[in-house]
Amino acid sequence: MRKHFNVDSLMETEMLCPTKFDCLSIAPIRLVFVLTLALLYPVVGRSQIHVGPGQKYPDLGTAAHLRAIHAGDTVFIHAGTYANELYWIDSLIGTPDKRITIMSFGKDSVSINEQYTFQTAQYVRISGLHFYGDDSTQRSRVFHQLFFDYEYACFTANHDIIVENCTFTELNNTGKGSTGACLKFTGTDNFLVQNCIFRNGTNITDGISLNGNRHGVIRHCTFENMSGDGSHCKGGTKNITYEKNLFINCAAGGLDVGGDTGPTFFCPLGATWEADSIKVFANVFIGGTTGIKLSSCHNSFIYNNTCFKTTSFAFRSLNASSNSIYLDNNYIYNNIFTTYTPNHIYLNASNNFTYNTEYFKNNLFHDYRNPDPTTINWSELPGVNVSGSIIGDPMFTDTANRDFSLRAGSPAIGAGVAMSEPVTDYLDKQYSSSSRSIGAVESQQAGVGSAMRYDEFVLSPNPCGDWLTISCKGGVVPSEIRVMDVMGREVLRTGLVEIAEQNRVDLSSLDDGAYHLLVRATDGKGMGQMNFIKLSR
């Protein structure tokens, strides 16, 4: 049996050390930001495969079908628009220490106007590609832009997959009569989706669809203007974490945990829940019918999310399955639910069911359309367990610019249930261990500030070019640096060997623009955070 590994550990180690050679190189010397170089030009194995106009292989599908891609290879896709190609990819098999990487060549513009279907993919990383779904010549057959299709080989055909820094836009499912998805996983074991954008779906389109998968992480992604859900997970899906994502105006809802899947499509067969052990941590939901919906799921943990101006319901709990699979043991703690609807603060639920194993603790509710509500409508959830609810304006800092931090005086500050997770918030700040705030963004007034040592470093120059210097004060040195873009997505992260006084940071992988830098010291505490601007010379 294949040994299971943790996806978070995979990212912590493999992103920094894509090969054993890299790890051996890092250990004895003061090497800074190998992570950036590894993402741009990974040294992962036997050879480089170049595909595209003027290359040996015209497209990825052809190279795969000719069995030109082997464990450890890096496939560089050159600039071009790819359509009418061999899109069915039946065998890409890497190994734990020789992952296959598929990425654009340098900063080439690569547009995939095709449905890439992976039937057998193992230890594969897909990075930096753009998938476009409204090419008139391909529209009738692009149902999913990127599809991992297990073909009933549950957890064995597709496993250990990374999709990162990709964009998925304009998927047009008009006339197809059923739901499509920008990115769909079926029967996949161990996967990570990170720093991806899903935008503008037509008809009934989801951003990410998970059917019968396990052990996955979806983090720092943006889902915007999807006509279906931002994402859903069902069909026996288990042990998935959604963390620090942004959902904007997803028509059906931001996130649907569970669903109604025919039992013949469950993976594994005989699964007793549509979705089991799903974690939803520190996400931001803007608009849409509702932010979060639970559908025939078990053991879900909905902690420290912010839902802003949903248009129908503060929250939904539905027994949607036709297979006698019901909601059970779901925990909804420390969330902000705000609505903009004539329904007031309304929690929608299925009829003729007792919700006595659904638990709401220390959630804050507010209705922007009716600014002085006095009650929360729990009438559709008989038997529900509720404690610590707060009704009041959360006092966000600047919603027009999507800044959902809390202003001084917010009733959400320090009002959450003490929890061991999530450890960090939407902006990667540490949650207070003693007085956690409610919502996706922790407040400095909640006790985190006392643990942060501000003014212990300076950045120069600022604005900068491809290099930024961090000068430390007081003998404290950083052990980790994280860079976020203006949307709060992590775009760069590295652990540092201790270097006194100064560290030079290579920013050549970043586009021009404004960024937010977080620095953590060697003792694990935060040294502080600062904004900087990169301008090309």
pLDDT higher than threshold 90 for residue 366: yes
Tens-digit pLDDT profile for residues 332-351: 999 999 999 988 899 999 88
Cα angle value 24/27/30 (rounded, 5°): 125
Average pLDDT over all residues of the chain: 83
Tens-digit pLDDT profile for residues 83-128: 877 678 889 999 999 999 999 999 899 999 989 999 999 999 999 9
| Count: domains in the chain | 1
d(CA 426, CA 404): 9
382, 408 contact by CB (below 8 A): no
Chain-centre distance of CA 346, in angstroms? 28
* pLDDT score, position 515: 84
Tens-digit pLDDT profile for residues 499-515: 445 677 888 888 877 78
523 falls in which pLDDT band (50, 70, 90)? low
d(CA 527, CA 481): 10
| Residue 318 covered by a domain | no
d(CA 297, CA 320): 9
The amino acid occupying position 488 is G
Q: CB neighbours (10 Å) of residue 444?
A: 18
| Residue 217 covered by a domain | no
**Strand ranges in 34-79 using DSSP code E only, listed in sequence order:** 48-51, 74-77
| Residue 224 covered by a domain | no
Cis peptide before 463 (omega within 30 of 0): yes
| Residue 529 covered by a domain | yes
The two beta strands, 478-484 and 513-521, are: antiparallel
pTM for this predicted structure:
0.77
* pLDDT score, position 410: 95
The amino acid occupying position 294 is L
| Residue 465 covered by a domain | yes
CATH code where residue 510 lies: 2.60.40.1220
d(CA 105, CA 503): 29
| Residue 398 covered by a domain | no
Higher-pLDDT residue of 38 and 426 is 426
306 falls in which pLDDT band (50, 70, 90)? very high
* pLDDT score, position 183: 97
477 falls in which pLDDT band (50, 70, 90)? low
Higher-pLDDT residue of 443 and 30 is 443
Domain that holds residue 475: 454-534
| Residue 319 covered by a domain | no
473 falls in which pLDDT band (50, 70, 90)? low
pLDDT higher than threshold 80 for residue 472: no
- Give burial (CB, 10 Å; 0-12/13-18/19+) of 41: middle
String of DSSP letters for 121-149: EEEEEEES-EEE---TTTTTT-SEEEEE-
390 falls in which pLDDT band (50, 70, 90)? very high
Higher-pLDDT residue of 3 and 101 is 101
Percent of the chain with pLDDT over 90: 55
Q: What helix, strand, coil percent values describe the chain, rounded to 5?
A: 5, 40, 50
151 falls in which pLDDT band (50, 70, 90)? confident
* pLDDT score, position 446: 39
Higher-pLDDT residue of 432 and 43 is 432
| Residue 296 covered by a domain | no
- For residues 241-248, average pLDDT: 97
Chain-centre distance of CA 57, in angstroms? 32
pLDDT higher than threshold 50 for residue 37: no
